Amino acid sequence: MDLDYSPQERAFQADLRDFLAEHLPRDIAAKVTARREVSKDDMERWHAILNARGWLAGSWPKAFGGEGWGPIEQHVFEEECCLAGAPRIVPFGVKMLGPVLMQFGTPEQQADLLPRILDGTDWWCQGYSEPGAGSDLASLKTRADRDGDHYVINGQKTWTTLGQYANRIFCLVRTKVDGKPQEGISFVLVDLDSPGIEMRPIRLIEGGYEVNEVFFTDVRVPVANLVGAENEGWTIAKFLLGHERTNIAGVGFSVQALEQVKSLARQITRNGRPLIQNTLFAARLARIEAELDAMKITNLRMLARAAQGGRLGAEPSMLKIKGTEIRQAINDLARRALGPAAAPFPSEDLDGNLSIAPEGHAHDAASYFNNRKISIYGGSNEIQRNILAKGMMAR
């Protein structure tokens, strides 16, 4: 196995760096680098820039408007975007629903919906989790009862990320109650302006608003909005979650965040010396960096196998666990470096004066609290460990 990029991949990396240097708006990059909130307008502006270059959905086949990137090109793209301070592509349309439609959708659904994802006409959100069905997704209770050419949906979804910006939601619904729980689930597409839908915000511990509750009361959805066959939504759910978990590792985000912690530790002094020279802090930093290097190599090994047509089994689960643990450890190290300046709600911050923390680090505490979620969503790390254990026991 060769872990070095080929000449073609290095040329692609150079093109990417040139493109990002010229086209990534500086105001957006400044927000991302300082971990400030990126607005809907910011995200849509960046999507439009990438779409004009043909790189919004680079891994999609050319027949559907992509570039046909393989896993290594996609990895290079995501890493370079992170290092440049680009916002993450909102995944629900491009990286989740798009591949599902290509695999399971009808030609009519593909022709209608895929271009609308690319040009920003539709902003999708995900209707998977419920109050009693998160990691145990098979126990979901939202019902979709057939009534002629429509389904009538009743139930509740929760933790719907960025749903306040969306005009459509893809949902897992129960269309059969007898038999195994997994055998009675279907995957449907719903317009959020349909009568009977109510969305309520959920405030997070750091004060942000990015997730919602969605309530369905007698919501009528055309049967034509079913993706795949009725009662076979579990297969689609697993296909989609595989894409979600692969992206959660966030190697590029960790690389960029670790460099920021190093910079911070050079600015802050303890007992007259830069913090980065403190023995205990340096040891913690070195341990995280070593784990990150190991994960980068593991990630490249998996990418090399996938690029050669090899099948990935439970490896995305391993990446999800380690990637989220490393990102949380980096957040924790930044919090320790800031000390009292990492107070979650300093009055100076509320007044718009961010001078209590070094420049660019006023939102580190908020990132620390917000990223407590990443080891839970997309299938909690405990569930991923069960998947790995089952894979090992089956050998």
Active site residues: 244
Q: Say how far apart CA 312 and CA 99 lie, in whole Å.
A: 17
Q: Say how far apart CA 84 and CA 22 lie, in whole Å.
A: 11
Pure H helices in the chain: 7-23, 26-33, 40-53, 71-84, 91, 98-104, 107-118, 233-248, 251-267, 279-307, 315-338, 347-350, 364-370, 381-393
Give the DSSP per-residue string, 83-125. HHTPPPPPHIIIIIIHHHHHHHS-HHHHHHHHHHHHTTS--EE
Q: Which of 250, 242, 237, 246 is nearest to 127 (CA)?
A: 237
Pairing mode, if any, of strands 124-127 and 143-147?
unpaired
Tokens 């894979």, residue?
391
Give the largest CA-CA distance in the chain: 76
At residue 133, φ and ψ (nearest 5 deg) are -150, 90
Q: Which of 255, 291, 263, 289 is nearest to 80 (CA)?
A: 255
